Structure 1
Amino acid sequence: MSDPKPSRKDRPPPKRPQDPDGTRRDILDTALREFAMNGLSGARIDEIAARTKSSKRMIYYYFGDKEGLYLEALENAYRTVREGEAKLETEGLPPPEALRRLVEFTFDHHHEHEDFIRMVMIENIHHGQYLERSDVIRGLNVTAIDNIASIYRRGVNSGDFRPGLDPLELHWQVSALCFFNVSNRATFSSIFGRDMGAPNEQAKLRESTVEMVLRFVSR
């Protein structure tokens, strides 16, 4: 029987890299791809260490254990999408245009970050148990609801949007359309014999997704 792994506080720090922040980011980016491809149980710290030219010891020093690395990779994936939303600068736009820009961004982000979609799917397999431990993710996603609620409220006040909708449900609906576009693309394409990931198909789906949301909220 192997000796138990020493706790994080008991382990001596590894030799400090010249760019510790860059090394940490590289580990998180690589871990995201590894977890997205193989899940929490199938991911291997050895693989992540080899691909980042770091060491298992360094990874454990930064993140504690594999579950700690998984949670931080998940947090980082959510942080990326929320930081992108924050750069949209929708406050000065008419509400329909602001909502259009938000839906377009969500569609494009999910299309371009398939690892994020896979990570969310994996976390749902785990019934959200790791996400529940994260105050970071809860804080990040409050801003998402605040943003869409602000756009919707302005649209109701301007007469563009119908009243009585729940911003959280609206966020759910936007997410559902954009999420399905990635999560079920392979099976949908195979079943119906049409490549839904082709550029022309994606362009049509992007525009119809925006139109569906705008028609749903419009008066």
Structure 2
Amino acid sequence: MNDTTPEPRSRNADRSQQAILEAAREEFSLHGLAGARVDRIAERADVNKRLIYYYFGSKDDLFLAVLEGVYADIRAAEKKLHLLELSPPEAIARLTEFTWNYYLEHPEFITLLNSANLHQARHLAKSQRVREMNSPLIQTLGEILEQGRRDGVLRGGIDPVQLYISIAGLAYFYLSNNHTLSAIFGRDLMTRKAHAERLSHMRDVVLGYVLRD
């Protein structure tokens, strides 16, 4: 037998865990941590409920695994942007556009973060993996800002963490609060035209901050 060939049991275990994670992502995004039910996750994943506890330990540990998974997905997508191959202004504009579109196309990301914040991020606070995943993005953004400063096209003294929080916040607040904002201002903020206007505004705000006069 070839030692490099995975055992069938191992492959089945991987498939079961992936099915559980996908079902849990849907359940947590729909109902939050408090409202999620392991029974429904088991039913969605078509596995025995005991298998969930065997692989993940508890509902809280499963929630953390889901959060780590959604962060891994967005960080992997960001890597494909190859931001360091662009000019600094283009890279920042591209990251801004990507962040907006990713949040728009993955509403479960926002609802999962809402649930995590409701519980004061006590799950993410335990995750070294999430911190390690975020560090390369901030390092890349720092390199872009420094290159832009050296090239004379970007202002100096910009904190990459603060900049990323601002980019994410411009998208996150709009989308996570679209129902209340639409009601308050009497405008449907989720039309295609409104989305285009928001992205244009975000680009103007971010680039207006980072570009040198």
- TM-score normalised by L of structure 2: 0.91
Counterpart position of 1:89: 82
Identity of aligned residues (%): 39
Change (3 A) 1:41 1:121: same
Counterpart position of 2:163: 170
Runs (5+) with no aligned partner, structure 1: 1-15
Of 149, 156, 176, 2:149 maps to 156
For residues 1-219 of structure 1, the aligned pairs below 5 Å read: 16=9, 19-219=12-212
Provide the rounded CA distance (Å) in 2 between the counterparts of 1:199 and 1:26: 33
| Secondary structure of 1:128's aligned partner | coil
1:134 Cα deviation (Å)? 0.5
Residues 156-187 of structure 1 deviation map (CA, whole Å, 9 limit, x = unaligned): 11111011111111111111101112111111
1:18 Cα deviation (Å)? 5.9
1:62 Cα deviation (Å)? 1.3
Q: Which amino acid aligns with 1:158?
A: D
1:153 Cα deviation (Å)? 1.1
Residues 4-32 of structure 1 deviation map (CA, whole Å, 9 limit, x = unaligned): xxxxxxxxxxxx58643233222212211
Runs (5+) with no aligned partner, structure 2: 1-8
| Secondary structure of 1:91's aligned partner | helix
- TM-score normalised by L of structure 1: 0.89
Q: Would you tell me which structure has more helix in proportion to its own residues?
A: 2
Across the aligned residues of Structure 1 and Structure 2, the Cα RMSD in angstroms comes to 1.6
